[in-house]
Chain A
Amino acid sequence: MSGYFKELFGGTKSLFVGLGVTIKYMVKPVVTVQYPHETLTMTPRFRGHIELVGDEETGAPKCVVCGMCQKACPSNCISLTGEKPEGGKKKVLTGYTLNFTTCSLCGLCVESCKFGAITFSRDYNLAGPSKGAYIFDLKKRLEEKSG
């Protein structure tokens, strides 16, 4: 019998304590960010899709077409082509395609590049109309970015 009353009073008190917690949070300021009116900046190490890094002076991609990133990728996302120009020793990049539909942002490609030619971007607004919009032509993106 005393268990019945103890449970009754203890239970009712716990209900009021719970109400107290909720009202406390109700009067605190909200914790959400009103996207898209306000946006957050991503941290420097945020993993967006990869992008080519351009050389500071020439703006050309630093990539020497060694193919290590292509070999390192687990999902065969990267395909790059290059050619040796006449009278030049090093290969020059002609095309760099990233198939972002299968990319898992693991970072093995960025880690494997010894020349610092690819890095993660901080692009997250990636809504597109079709699957083709996610086959990125990274060389064209670099050219558009450097103007």
Chain B
Amino acid sequence: MIDLARSTNQETFVMNLGPQHPATHGVLRVKLTMDGEYIVNAEPVLGYVHRMHEKMGENRTWAQFMPNTGRLDYLGALSYNHGYVKVVEQAMGIEVPERAEYLRVITVELNRIASHLLWFGAFVLDLGGFTPLLYAFDDREHILDLLESVTGSRLTFCYFRFGGLYNDIDDNFVTGTRAFIKRLRKRLPDYHNLVTKNIILIKRLKGVGVLPAEMCRKYGATGPVLRGSGVQYDVRKNEPYSVYPELDFDVPVYAEGDSMARYMVRMDEIEQCMRIVEQALDKLPEGPVMAEKVPKILKPAPGDYYGAVEAARGSFGVRIVSDGTNTPYRLKLRSPTFSNLSLYGEASRGMLLADALALMGSLDLVIPEIDR
């Protein structure tokens, strides 16, 4: 009955930001109830890309789940590898050699730069600027070539193993990475001149989609969304893991909470990632990349373990429940984009459609990660 009354209301109409849409970055459907140009209600409808990763985890051994982690958020796949491997190592008590930890950090941060560059290109594409996408992809090609020379894959990495890495790097990687960082440092001012300082972009993003810190906390948003609202929370600093305590980097935080703040957080993060990679390359020790005593068949002690890493989009958590056998009993993946998207319904109330799309772009959604 309520639906009937709503549908006969002359003021509002329901529009579908359909599953296939250039601006939704994946298969996301948003049911918008609109009053002219203003959004009265936005209801995201998820599940179009549900591939049952968590169920697959119950039917595969601990090692066989590795490729699945790369397919969750394919743009920042190494962080997801890292999150899963970290929890299992924690459960089994496996010590990872230092060289492997440093290489993990270097590759994860390179992957984070690639993910942020793609977000930058796609976000400006949503707003109508076609060229920064291609400049960002040019830089991203260099990163993907570097990572391909080490891991063999360009996008869905399956590079980490329990106790270390699949294989070691060579000197070409080190020189290539240093050359890439020098190149990107020269290109970032161009991006800022072309996009960040552009008056049209500033008008579109400043003051648009303000997310107060309370709303972010309520919905559990993490990552650049939370840091763009003034809350200083980064898993790498607040719950340090791997070799991050030994590296010196800042966590950019902007207090305004609008789309411009989230944009600036990610652009500054690119610079910080480059700092981390440089320091890690300087401090890279010699040694093995695989721990010695890693059992072939893993059987962690029965129990409940949780670990989180800072992925490109927020805090990615893995909870494993082990019953002592060689397959997990339950594998729960805490997707950061799911929590980030959940505040969209409340935040977009009363906004204009164009601004709501700018807000969606600034949240940096990857739908396969939400649907798992």
The answer to whether A and B interact is yes
A21 to B152, CA, bound (A): 34
Cβ contact within 8 Å between B190 and A104 = no
Among A89-97, A105-113, A129-137, the stretch that binds chain B is A105-113
A47 at the interface (CB under 8 A from B): yes
When distances are taken between beta carbons in the complex, the residues of chain A under 8 Å from B150 are 45
A57 to B134, CA, bound (A): 49
Closest chain B residue, CB of each to CB of A44: B149
A46 to B152, CA, bound (A): 4
A45-B148, A46-B148 known; A15 vs B156 contact (CB < 8 Å): no
Residue from A7, A15, A31 within 8 A of B198 (CB atoms)? A15
A113 to chain B, nearest CB (A): 13
A7-B199, A14-B197, A18-B193 known; A43 vs B148 contact (CB < 8 Å): yes
Cβ contact within 8 Å between B151 and A45 = yes
Closest chain B residue, CB of each to CB of A22: B131
Interface size of B in residues (CB-CB distance below 8 Å): 32
When distances are taken between beta carbons in the complex, the residues of chain A under 8 Å from B131 are 22, 25
Cβ contact within 8 Å between A107 and B149 = no
Cβ contact within 8 Å between A47 and B198 = no
Residue from A14, A24, A107 within 8 A of B158 (CB atoms)? A107
A88 to chain B, nearest CB (A): 28
Kindly count the residue-residue contacts between A and B in the assembled complex, taking CB atoms under 8 Å apart. 76
**A-facing mask of B151-190, CB < 8 A → 1, else 0?**
1110010100100001100000000000000000000001
Cβ contact within 8 Å between B63 and A108 = yes
Cβ contact within 8 Å between A107 and B152 = yes
Cβ contact within 8 Å between B199 and A45 = no
A11 at the interface (CB under 8 A from B): yes
Among B64-72, B107-115, B311-319, the stretch that binds chain A is B64-72
When distances are taken between beta carbons in the complex, the residues of chain B under 8 Å from A25 are 131, 135, 190
**A-facing mask of B67-80, CB < 8 A → 1, else 0?**
11001000000000
A12 to B63, CA, bound (A): 57
Residue from A45, A72, A104 within 8 A of B149 (CB atoms)? A45
Residue from A7, A22, A31, A107 within 8 A of B194 (CB atoms)? A22
A105 to B67, CA, bound (A): 8
A10 at the interface (CB under 8 A from B): yes
Closest chain B residue, CB of each to CB of A15: B199
Residue from B63, B65, B145, B167 within 8 A of A72 (CB atoms)? B63
Cβ contact within 8 Å between B199 and A105 = no
Cβ contact within 8 Å between A107 and B166 = yes
When distances are taken between beta carbons in the complex, the residues of chain B under 8 Å from A46 are 148, 152
Going nearest first, the 6 A-B pairs with the smallest beta carbon separation are A11-B199, A74-B64, A106-B67, A47-B152, A104-B67, A106-B158
A residues with CB within 8 A of B: 7, 10-12, 14-15, 17-18, 20-22, 24-25, 31, 43-47, 72-74, 104-108, 111, 120
23 sampled A-B residue pairs with Cβ under 8 A: A7-B199, A10-B199, A14-B193, A14-B197, A14-B198, A14-B199, A17-B194, A18-B194, A18-B198, A21-B194, A22-B194, A24-B190, A25-B131, A31-B138, A43-B148, A45-B148, A45-B167, A74-B67, A74-B68, A105-B152, A105-B153, A108-B64, A111-B161
